Amino acid sequence: MEPLLSKAASKPRALTHRELVELLTFPDAGALFAAAYEVKVREIGRRVSLRGLIEFANVCEKDCFYCGIRNANGKVDRYMMSADEIVSAAKWSYKAHYGSIVLQSGEISSKSHIALVENVLRRIRDIAGDGFGITLSLGEQSEETYRCWREAGAHRYLLRIETSNPALYATLHPSDHSWERRLECLRSLRRCGYQVGSGIMAGLPGQTVDDLASDIEFFASEDLDMIGMGPYIPHADTPLGHGVRWNTEDKTRRLELGLHMIAATRLYMHDVNIAAATALQALDPEGREKGLLAGANVVMPNATPLVYRRNYRLYPDKPCLGEDPGACRGCLERRINGVGEQILWNERGDSPHWRKKKDGMH
């Protein structure tokens, strides 16, 4: 194996910043992905954890310049699933043997929304028990809210930092959005006992390879348990994506960048959970499988009811919008088995990194 890849594979966090930049621009993508996959197999096995994704509301208080469901986008048909509908979707995922779900919505901090989520969590726990994994992806909240939801049954929380560069962050958000506030939320989640996840978008306007290397170092310095990241895909109804024209070369370049980030993160951090984001599949029909072969170990099949699914579009060309959850389950199983990976049915799929910390091994 090439010396840089050998060094990265030998132990976690072994690379300098400059060497991380070299990984992210590594000319032999096949060798890079193969090295990352070897580390994944060594740390986790040829195994994939599933998270049934329930996008239960597309209402959002935020106005991020890149997001299709930003508050100011008047072209979105807004919806909010009822508690019964959310619990029903979670129950379907449980009976489909997914072992874990993600509850995701736009960012809402009202008392009624906080109470809705708490109620849903308690009801899901009553049905499925503590062995069923529940990840929340509900944005910035108070530490009191995070603690409430943790006590109600949530195990993991994903809050993307989007970029570890505060100056770049400021170009992606209105002035009332704070990078420091987002960082403090990640630390609040740690204090509340969650398995904590974050992530970034790769390919943002103004973003450099140095930024991406710093993002990976940020994941490590914050001792994250799971990483959820994907390529940035411009949305025409947003300030950042308005007027951007696509071509096949753009899609290929963004896909490769997303896969390089997965591989480099695996080679730097070794034992964390890394998702093969749905955005990869928006760029390539086999994008998620390629993500798994580049070092990812988590896939999130969509378990949102079809009646709502088309209205939760953070980016264009989102796949599986017309496929019911049962068909999605069968398709995913065939795809994952087809690349030599095995699905961990009925397992929470906790991060090995988190388990080691819990057992005092870190």
Q: Which residues of 61-75 are buried (b: 16+ CB within 10 A; e: fewer)?
A: ebbbbbbbbbbebee
Q: What is the reported pLDDT for 33? A: 98
Q: What is the reported pLDDT for 325? A: 78
Cα dist. 286→153, 180, 297, 336, 362 in Å?
A: 34, 36, 15, 10, 35
Q: What is the reported pLDDT for 323? A: 75
Contact 212, 23 (CB under 8 A): no
Instruction: Please state, as a whole number, how many other Cβ atoms lie within 10 Å of the Cβ of residue 321.
Output: 14
- Write down the CATH number for the domain with range 47-261+269-358: 3.20.20.70
- What are 188's two structure tokens? 């609040």
Contact 245, 293 (CB under 8 A): no
Q: Write out the chain's pLDDT in tens, 362 residues.
A: 699 999 999 999 999 999 999 999 999 999 999 999 999 999 999 999 999 999 999 999 999 999 999 999 999 999 999 999 999 999 999 999 999 999 999 999 999 999 999 999 999 999 999 999 999 999 999 999 999 999 999 999 999 999 999 999 999 999 999 999 999 999 999 999 999 999 999 999 999 999 999 999 999 999 999 999 999 999 999 999 998 887 888 899 999 999 999 999 999 999 999 999 999 999 999 999 999 999 999 999 999 999 999 999 888 777 777 777 777 788 888 999 999 999 999 999 999 999 999 888 65
- What are 353's two structure tokens? 């990194």
- Backbone angle region of 346, left / alpha / beta, with phi > 0 → left and psi within -120 to 50 → alpha: left
Q: What is the reported pLDDT for 362? A: 55
Boundaries of every domain in the chain: 47-261+269-358
Q: How far apart are the first and last CA of the chain?
A: 28
Q: What is the reported pLDDT for 320? A: 75
Residues in contact with 243: Cβ distance below 8 Å, sequence separation at least 6, in sequence order: 236
- Predicted TM-score (pTM) of the model is 0.96
Report the distance separating Cα 244 and Cα 233, nearest Å: 10
Q: What is the reported pLDDT for 98? A: 96
